[in-house]
A and B are shown apart, each in its own frame.
Chain A
Amino acid sequence: MGLIENAERPNFILTTIDTLLRWGRSHSLWWCNAGSACCSLEFAAMGGARYDMDRIGSGLVRASPRQSDVLLIPGPITKKMAPIFVRVYNQMPDPKWVIAMGSCAISGGAFRESYSMTRGADTVLPVDVYVPGCPVRPEALFYGLLKLRARVRGTSNIGLAHREPIYVPPDLPPEWEAEVREFLGEHEAC
């Protein structure tokens, strides 16, 4: 994989393989769930019948970071746990993405002033997707996952070093819910 990520300029062979890899990766984003707090339960709801993340190939929550692509941080990171999060992140193979789920993982949330908490996951790790909420609704996380999936599929992996984070809006405009619902094939109100 390093051949493509580390190549600075695209050429015919690399771009063809890159497109194939992007397609494959976007359909198999496997999780590493570092369940540090209660948002993890909302994530668990995404595995259930209603949201069913298996339908986009993201249903596998691996026990080992070495088999996963997306590190989910569903809660605050204590200062004591921060080195362990970094270690888990370092154990994941490239390319890898990080989702900060919920207020605590974004900014520290209710624990921001605490003596034992870091102020957001991005003080420790490079975060790709910020999903706000307290707790995050499964739809919002699904939306963040869809955006990440589009990013993985649409962005060339050649010269992968620089990535801009994705911000899911905190007050949800009607469009995105419709977008998720359309994707889920669900017509009743969420």
Chain B
Amino acid sequence: MTVDLEAVAAAHSGRVDREGLDPAIVVPRETWRQLAQALSEAGVWFSDLTCVDRGETVEVVAQVCASASEQITLKTVLPNRDLTVDSLWPVWPGMDWLEREAYDMFGVSFVGHPDLTRILMFDGFEGYPLRKSFLLETEEKAS
């Protein structure tokens, strides 16, 4: 099975980015879940979800597989001041823990997730440790 990346991207007002190892479909956050839904109906399954902190923005990155040899990256870019995006849990229930981890480490809120709580850090931990703006204890003392 081969996914027509250009057509899928165009249908979800996105674009195709071929700079990385795998081709990436970059969409605005409004069509994030629709894109996943369309791919899911075409028989694509997901393998991973994480985030990248770019300073001003945070990218949500999902890896999906159309076949064993065809990996596609899905990306959406969120501004720092409003880190909310639709959850992919209704499309792929296995996203549950991955989105909880992304929430725990980066503070991205996934709208529609059934139980968006911290998964690795304990309750009551302050901040999101993998964000560039997070200060370690030594850095707090130095600043």
What residues of chain A have their CB less than 8 Å away from a CB belonging to chain B? 79-80, 113-116
Give Cα A109–Cα B93 distance, bound, in whole angstroms: 38
Contact with A along B106-131 (1 / 0, CB 8 A): 00000000000000111001000100
Contact A113 B136 (CB under 8 A): yes
Closest B residue, CB atoms, query A81:
B122
The answer to whether the Cβ of B138 comes within 8 Å of any Cβ in the partner chain is: yes
CA distance A71 to B138 in the complex (A): 30
Which residues does chain B contribute within 8 Å of A114, judged by CB atoms?
Answer: 136
Query: By the criterion CB–CB under 8 Å, are A116 and B121 in contact?
Result: yes
The DSSP consensus for interface residues of chain B is loop
Q: How far is the CA of A128 from the CA of B136 in the complex (A)?
A: 29
CA distance A80 to B124 in the complex (A): 11
Q: Does the CB pair B129–A113 fall under 8 Å?
A: no
- Pairwise interchain contact A80-B121, C-beta atoms closer than 8 A: yes
Q: In terms of DSSP, what is the predominant structure of the interface of chain A?
A: loop
Q: How far does the Cβ of B19 sit from chain A's closest Cβ, in whole Å? A: 31
- Count residues of B near A (Cβ-Cβ below 8 Å): 9
B92 part of interface (Cβ distance < 8 Å) = no
Contact assessment for B138 and A113 in the assembled complex, using a CB-CB cutoff below 8 Å: yes
Q: Whole-angstrom distance between the alpha carbons of A116 and B125 in the complex?
A: 9
Q: Are A115 and B129 in contact (CB under 8 A)?
A: yes
- Chain B residue nearest in CB terms to A113: B136
Map CB proximity to A onto B49-72 as digits: 1 under 8 Å, 0 otherwise.
Answer: 000000000000000000000000
A35 to chain B, nearest CB (A): 20
B-side contacts of A115, CB under 8 Å? 129, 134, 136
**Alpha-carbon distance between A115 and B137 when the two chains are bound, in angstroms:** 8
A151 smallest CB distance to B (angstroms): 33
Q: Which residues on the A side are within 8 Å of B129 (C-beta)?
A: 115-116
Q: Which of A80, A113, A114, A115 has the most CB of B within 10 A?
A: A115
CB-CB nearest in chain A for B122: A80
CB distance from B93 to the nearest CB of A (A): 26
Interface contacts beyond A79-B122, A115-B136: sample of 12 additional A-B pairs, CB < 8 Å, sorted by A: A79-B125, A80-B121, A80-B122, A113-B136, A113-B137, A113-B138, A114-B136, A115-B129, A115-B134, A116-B120, A116-B121, A116-B129
Q: Which residue of A lies closest to B136 (CB)?
A: A113
Tell me, in angstroms, the Cα distance from A67 to B134 when the chains sit together. Answer: 43
14 contacts between A and B (CB under 8 A): A79-B122, A79-B125, A80-B121, A80-B122, A113-B136, A113-B137, A113-B138, A114-B136, A115-B129, A115-B134, A115-B136, A116-B120, A116-B121, A116-B129
What residues of chain A lie closer than 8 Å to B138, measured between beta carbons?
113
Select from chain B the residue with minimum beta-carbon distance to A119: B137
* B125 CB contacts on chain A under 8 angstroms: 79
Most buried by A among B122, B134, B136, B138: B122
